[in-house]
Amino acid sequence: MTNTKTEEWKMSIGTLNEEVLKKLSKMLDNSTCGWRKLATAAAEHPKFLCSEKELTSCSLQVLDAGGSPARTLLAWLADRSCSLDFLLHCLRKMDHEEAVQFLTTAVAELIQITVQPQSQQATQGSRVILTCRASGPPGLSYQWFRGNEEILNDTGSSPELVLCPLGPAHQGHYICRINHGEKYVFSQWVHVDLVSQGSSPGCSSSLFSGSVSGLQIIHQPQSQAASEGDTLVLECKAEANPPAQYEWYHNKKLLLQQKTCVLKIPCVTTEHRGEYSCKVFNLYHQAWSDTATVTIGPSSVIEASWVELDRGLKSQEVHRSTSGLGAHPLLQMANLSVSAKNYYATDKVALLIGNMNYLYHTQLSAPISDVHELTNLLRQMDFKVVSLLDLNWQEMHSAVTEFLLLLDKGVYGLLYFAGHGYENYGNSFMVPIDAPASYTSAHCLCVQNILTKMQEKETGLNVFLLDMCRKKNPNDIVIVQPGLIKVTANIVFGYATCVDAEAYEVKREDVSNGIFISFLKKRVCEDEKVTVMLDRVAEDMGRCEITRGRQALELRSNLSERRSLTDQIQISACSASHSARNLQWAVSHVLPKSHCLQFDCGVKVQLGFAAEFSNIMVIYTRILEKPKEIVSCSAQLTDFPEDVDVDLKKTNQETLLEAGILLLIKEELPSPEAPSLYTRIRSLQRLRRELTFTVCLHYTYSNLDEEVQERLPVTVGKPLVSKLNLHEPRPSHSCSASTSFNSDSFNFPACSTFTEDFASVDSASNTWSYYAQTAGQVSHADSQTSSRSANVPEETDCPELFDSPRPLVASKSLPHSQVNDTNYKFSDMYNFHSY
């Protein structure tokens, strides 16, 4: 392209067709030179500066198998009238040569309609000419259609359609399709009406003015947002003679069982996200409804917790389609051939455990940030992630059991552990926080035993990332005999260090990082075979002076196929197990609903929730309304149950840092007139009953010096992972015959808090109803105070609760560029294992 701006380059991003946008999004959906860099480059123009909420919402698109953060960002830029020229400038600024070349070619081949056909009315026997002209690459061809039938024009591929002499057969709706190779655009629909000799051409003879004769849509389906487990209802109504029939389409695929004007799907899951449209037809005519975009959690926690009324609208804006033609049946005439990768997953599930606060061993600092960062990176690759901190033996055992229930044939399973560990006779052992000073295999979990259970699920890929020491344990003289490991050629072990060596973390004043994650986070999202990616991590570590001769990554694998963590998810024809897995995972990530509490004095308090990890929740309060006679007031939380871990010295703090919250992105702080107080609740996995606490309102009247208090009890059900009751042993009838859970015979049960017959689930609705009974019901009082739509049924980082202006990835973590920094000292390195 020359320096002179052509008219094409002045056009908006929204003029690009969906095929181009999808290909461009695919190039930008990566963690190195991707959509985040594009957002940063575009921010040089204030008009295109994205807020933290918007960036976080982009990131959360990866939780949908078909979601694309880059596509969402491009849609926002299009909504703000970002020109193609500015987009090209940003791509050049970020040195994305592939995207620059592709966009340049795409714009050169861009088809732009310059003259749209117009509706006409004429008398029988007259001459009508419909004209459609377009600019673009040489050799454009034109196809005309009446309804769904192509009209073979005598003049060939002509921009003009001549109807002469006009007769009754010519009445109807017309559209023009302009083609160039595989690229095409459609004109607007126009209609040709036949009027009698005595009628004025300005008066329509149609029974339904402005629509297809005999058919008119009077109620369009509306875009909406919902949480998993909700019932989705879309409605499309039409006036028609003969009466109308209805067909519903989801992402352009026909829904065979939906034949009425109301589309109703009970107990929706993430697979129900996308675009819905309705085809309305009768014996003579047909019409298509508007496209309704449906988002099924997660949305931003803030949108769910702080601003409940805006939640649906914001979610709709994020997912707004930029193409007005996506639902029309003629688009099906040019199916796009998408080059699929050779390998795919039926689902992707990850269990991340970080143990720090050991009772009888050295305290660690890095696992909290390591688990947090890896969680966000895996979520960007569509993994369902369960992230847990500080588990004892029983809780680790139960967590692994639940993890195994999420696995199935073809699923990619990933287990990451950061904490103390050891290796004896080729077996690796993860140490729980309650392990005694002289622990043995009986007090730990054997990784190889977990692998044998994963193989029984016929998983597509088994990945173990063990960020722990591998020194021999002199206290353990028992040689554990794990179950027989099958030759499945799909196993990858990534050890943070070599055999009989130690793993280290680099300690900082605020947040520390393990050496392993410091390098892994730079590579883990690469679209490469898992072993190739880990090899590159090993090479990076080998070039670091601080780790040379002390810690080196070791890779063990029998992976024979080119499987990558970035492989796409393809749901099998029978999606019952996938829906059940979605719900099984989602039930352990449901946040309490936002509360608005009304006190007798007239003060209104808002109570919000955010998930820091699957077992750590942040509760925050702010004053929404107060009478003028009250000069000061604050809402503080107290009376927490003994089950959970709450540092009383850090409760009800005005800043995230004071509350001990280091990893969440800094919120847009409320105004001084409405300060927020934060409280961090840990160890939710030990909660044995519904979480209850008291909101204590302290306030002072203008004419009184003495402070007044009001107290309101609050019950919020069992939030996040507490529903799984990880503190409870699994039923003995399906566990090992041994009465103890000795890891020597570690045998994971097929049962848990969920149904034992997952594979035979008939419907997602039945599964959800089971969860409602077993995982704990929200109390009646709780259901009276807030609506269910405020729930965010997935692990979500709260964009208004974060501690720095960077979305998702912890800003205070060790950046890769600093790994070779000479500021590192060997005295900063701490051993992950100490006897």
Give the active site residues: 420, 469
Give me the DSSP letters along 743-775: GGG----S-SSS-S-GGG---HHHHHHHHHHHS
Long-range contacts, 92-95 (Cβ 8 Å, 24+): 93/41, 94/33, 94/37, 94/38, 94/40, 94/41, 95/33
What are phi and psi for residue 224, nearest 5 degrees?
-160, 165
Contact 277, 764 (CB under 8 A): no
CA distance 60 to 64: 8
On whether the CB atoms of residues 389 and 686 are closer than 8 A, the answer is no
| Token reading at 614 | 């699957």
Q: Which residue has the tokens 């009406």?
A: 193
CA distances from 131 to 119, 134, 142, 175, 443 (A): 10, 10, 10, 10, 80
> Which residue in 251, 232, 222, 223 sits closest to 64, CA to CA?
251
Cα 793 from Cα 234, distance rounded (Å): 21
Assess contact for 506 and 513: CB atoms under 8 A.
yes
Query: Please, what is the Cα angle at 720 between 719 and 724, to 5 degrees?
Result: 100
From the CA atom positions of the chain, what is the Rg in Å? 30
Pairing of strands 292-296, 224-226: parallel
3-class SS string, 71-94? HHHHHHHHHCCCEHHHHHHHHHHC
Pairing of strands 411-418, 384-389: unpaired
Exposed/middle/buried for residue 321 (C-beta within 10 Å: 0-12, 13-18, 19+) = middle
Q: Tokens for 601, please give them.
A: 């004095």
Instruction: State the Cα–Cα distance between residues 659 and 194, nearest whole angstrom.
Output: 74
> CB neighbours (10 Å) of residue 563?
23
Beta-carbon count within 10 A of 165 CB: 10
**Distance in angstroms (rounded) separating the CA atoms of residues 281 and 289:** 11
Is 469 within 8 Å of 502 (Cβ atoms)? yes
Instruction: Return the bridge partners of 621, or none.
Output: 607, 677
Answer for the pair 232, 263: CB distance below 8 angstroms, yes or no. Answer: yes
Say if residue 719 is preceded by a cis peptide, omega within 30 of 0.
no
Q: Give the Cα separation of 602 and 755 in Å (integer).
A: 46
Burial class (CB in 10 A: 0-12, 13-18, 19+), 827: exposed
Spatial distance between the Cα atoms of 518 and 189, rounded to a whole number of angstroms: 56
Could you give the 3-state DSSP secondary structure of residue 258?
A: coil
> What is the C-alpha to C-alpha distance for residues 184 and 111, in angstroms, rounded to an integer?
7
CA distances to 302, 318, 796 from 791, rounded to whole Å, are: 11, 18, 11
Of the CA atoms within 13 Å of residue 270, those in its CB half-sphere come to: 29
Reduced 3-state DSSP string for 625-672 = ECCCCEEEEEEEEECCCCCCECCHHHCCECCCCCCCCCCCCCCCCCCC
274-281 and 292-296 strand pairing: antiparallel
How far is CA 581 from each of CA 119, 271, 347, 374, 754, rounded to the nearest angstrom?
51, 11, 9, 21, 11
